[in-house]
Amino acid sequence: MNISLLIIIVFLVLSITLGLLAKRGKDMSMEQWAIGGRGFGGIFIFLLLAGETYSVFTLLGTSGLAFNNGAAAFYLLAFTALGTITSYWILPPIWKYAKEKNIVSQSQFFSVKYNSKGLGVFVALIGVVALIPYITILFKSMGILVATTSYGAISPTVAIWIGMFALLAYVMASGIHGSAWTSVVKDILIFFVILFLGIYLPIHYHGSFHGLFQAVKEVKPEALTLPSKGMSVSWFVSTVAISAFAYFMWPHNAPTIYASKSAKSFRLNAVLLPLYAIMVLFIYFVGFTAIVELPGLKNGDFALLELSMKTFNPWFVGIIGATGLLATLVPGSMMLMSAATMITTNVIEPLKPTISEKSKSLTAKGFVVLLSLVCAFFSMSGSETLATLYLTSFSLITQMAPSLYLSLRKTNTVNKFGAGFGMFTGVAIVIYVTFSKTTMAQLFPSLPSVIQDLNIGIIALFTNIILMFVISLATRKSHSFQTNTAPTE
Amino acid sequence: MKPYYLLAVLPFIAILGGAAFVNKVEPYVLGLPFFLFWIILWSVLCSIIMFTIYQLDPLNKGSEED
């Protein structure tokens, strides 16, 4: 065994131990466990929300996209900056409503807001479906991390299994509360690793950032701007738009939002988060350095690790690998736990209200294992890059945005039927296009490339919005008939 | 709806509407290709704009909890 792998394993054992220690002696109510009793202050909310944004995808997927597709990767920074400022208007009313109604999960929010258990079930399922590609990213990254840092001794498939068991062990040991400390360590590590790599690598190889881009211009000039076809300007604009509106739609963000003490912290976050997003710039530098230094590399998702192994001592590669590991475990556990919570409280419980606390917790754990197996399967069978999976997950989750945004208004023109059918259609379009590997160019060969290049998520979103309004209007009449006998407001 | 909230529309116009016009390498600014510089610039401006709105908005005065 080499030193890099050893360091990664030490961090894994440490984080599982920390999780076990954190859990001991704590017996918490659902509200305590999931959202810390709604007592988190502004800075802590900032750290949590900022931290949730940075997973192992930031390290491997972002540098990979910059390596493979150059300027297309800039979409990540652009949507983060735009997405985070929506925090000012979107999050305070969400938080306030959740506080009034004692809401702890996203699907519960929908089910209470639209007064429909059915919609709650539905949102829980969509949330889980949207998390699948995201969790698949995490397993795939684990595979890449372990396979690369073992210098080929462990195959990617075995590495994915190891990664899956590591994540399961971590989730079972710690729960959400145990993640808090590991999360702090992860945020500090990822911050310094990104800054160090992004500053050291370009200067070491090219003297300055300007020198780096001059060198990229020599070997791959097309990497510095968007191409005229494919990931073109219209791809960029549509992708930034859907991702920005999807920014706070993730089921695993919801508990963090509800955990806040006041609405003011969300408005302050809108000031701070765009600055924090600039960290991604330094990951671009790593990807661009790899374009020049690793001309033979086929898959960009290996770029950061391969370049690090070429440049640094194995022990430092181990630190980078350990950072990647923590950046997998923390968000991974949050995603698995929030998916399991939504399924048990908003799908299983309404179907079988007599279920005991014990079998509820058992169901949740069984569901975590099942979901992990599905994602492990996808991460072994698919050849998609990390960035492709990331794009799919955002196209899916953004389908929740219209009915959530509109439900925050004083009078909501959308009803549960419109919200449900709209979301269903949007999600169905994205899933169909993803699995059949259809492109807009195949569907509409005669249209100009400006339209062909659009992100499929935005087509699905428009269909979703239109259906949402049409069905809400169509079902409103019969609905008001039924309620006519009830006293009017 | 307060009129200064409209300031927050500017970054959307600059990034979504501006992409077609700034998708170029030159001029380099701070060593960065122009397209990348534009996005960094607007990330910083996002923060400055939101700070301005935060300061102007009476919601953030005092310590009320909503």
DSSP string, B18-63: THHHH----S-BTTB-HHHHHHHHHHHHHHHHHHHHHHH-GGGSTT
Confidence of residue A378 (pLDDT cuts 50, 70, 90): confident
Token reading at A468: 């949402």
The predicted structure's pLDDT at residue A9 = 84
Would the CB atoms of A277 and B59 count as touching at under 8 Å?
A: no
A326-376: per-residue pLDDT in tens?
Answer: 888 888 888 888 888 888 878 887 777 777 777 777 788 888 888 889 888
Phi, psi of A296 (to 5 degrees): -90, -5
Q: Other CB atoms closer than 10 Å to residue A115's CB: what's the count?
A: 11
Which residue type does A51 have?
G
Residue A399 in contact with partner chain B when CB distance is under 8 A: no
3-state secondary structure A400-415: HHHHHHHHCCCCCCCC
A233 with B24: Cβ contact below 8 A = no
User: B25 and A217 in contact by Cβ < 8 A?
Assistant: yes
The neighbour count for residue A486, using CB atoms within 10 Å, is 7
Residue A33 CA to residue A42 CA, distance in Å, equals: 19
Q: pLDDT band for position A227 (50/70/90)? A: confident
Task: Check whether A30 has a pLDDT greater than 70.
Answer: no
Chain B closest CA to A201's CA: distance in Å? Answer: 15
**Stretch B34-55: mean pLDDT:** 92
Mean pLDDT of chain A: 83
Q: What is the mean pLDDT of residues A139-164?
A: 84
For chain B, the structural domain boundaries read 29-58
The distance of Cα A413 from the centroid of its chain, to the nearest Å, equals 29
- For the stretch A292-308, what's the b/e string if a residue is b when 16 or more beta carbons lie within 10 angstroms of its beta carbon? bbbeebeebbbbbbbbb
Tokens of A122: 């539905």
What is the pLDDT at residue B37? 93
- CATH class for the domain made up of A3-386: mainly alpha
Q: What pLDDT sits at residue A486?
A: 42
Contact yes or no for A82 and B57 at CB 8 A: no
Q: Name the CA dihedral angle for A56, A61, A67, A71, rounded to a multiple of 10 degrees.
A: -120
Minimal Cα–Cα distance from A284 to chain B, Å?
10
The rounded distance, in Å, linking the Cα atoms of A390 and A139 is 13
| pLDDT score recorded for residue A457 | 86
Chain A: closest CA distance from residue B34 (Å): 9
- Mean pLDDT score, B59-66: 64
Which chain B residues contact residue A280 at CB under 8 A? none
Cα radius of gyration rounded to whole Å, chain B = 16
According to the model, what pLDDT value does residue A379 have?
84
Interface of A with B in 175-214 (CB under 8 A): 208-213
Q: Which residue of B has its CA nearest to A100?
A: B66
Residues A79-104, mean pLDDT to the nearest whole number:
88
Q: What pLDDT is attached to residue A23?
A: 59
Q: Which residues of A touch B53 (CB under 8 A)?
A: 88
Query: Nearest-CA distance from B15 to chain A in Å?
Result: 7
Kindly indicate the confidence band of residue A63, based on its pLDDT and cuts at 50, 70 and 90.
Answer: very high
Q: For a pLDDT cut of 70, what percent of chain B falls above it?
A: 92
- Local confidence band at A25 (pLDDT 50, 70, 90 cut-offs): very low
Set of chain A residues whose Cβ sits within 8 Å of the Cβ of B30: 209
Label residue A87 by pLDDT band (50, 70, 90): confident
Closest CB to B15 among A82, A263, A268: A82
pLDDT in tens, A411-458: 888 888 888 899 999 999 988 888 887 777 777 777 887 888 888 888
**Does the beta-carbon distance from B66 to A88 stay under 8 Å?**
no
Task: Domain ranges for chain A, please list them.
Answer: 3-386
Enter the tokens of residue A81: 């900056």
Verify whether the Cβ–Cβ distance B50 to A85 is below 8 Å: yes
Residue A483: pLDDT band (50, 70, 90) is: very low
Q: Residue A288 pLDDT > 70, yes or no?
A: yes
Q: Is the dihedral of CA A403, A405, A406, A410 positive or negative?
A: positive
pLDDT bracket for residue B12 (50, 70, 90) = very high
**In chain A, which among 258-277 make CB contacts under 8 A with chain B?**
261-264, 267-268, 270-272, 274-275, 277
Asked if A224 contacts A307 with a C-beta cutoff of 8 angstroms, the reply is: no
Q: What percent of chain A has pLDDT over 90?
A: 13
Q: In terms of pLDDT, which residue wins out, A487 or B29?
A: B29
> What is this structure's pTM?
0.86
- Average of per-residue pLDDT across B41-45: 93
Name the band, by pLDDT with cuts 50, 70 and 90, for residue A39.
low
Residues 6+ apart with CB under 8 A from A30: A104
Whole-number pLDDT of residue A478:
54
CA-to-CA dists, residue A373 to A126, A169, A235, A365, A485, angstroms: 18, 14, 33, 13, 51
Residue the block writes with tokens 């310094």: A192
Q: What is the pLDDT of residue A488?
A: 40
Q: Which of A41-55, A303-317, B21-35 has the lowest mean pLDDT?
A: A41-55
Quick one: CA dihedral A335, A282, B24, A299, positive or negative? negative
| pLDDT reading at A485 higher than 50 | no
- Give whole-number Cα distances, A269 to A45, A105, B47, in Å: 8, 21, 10
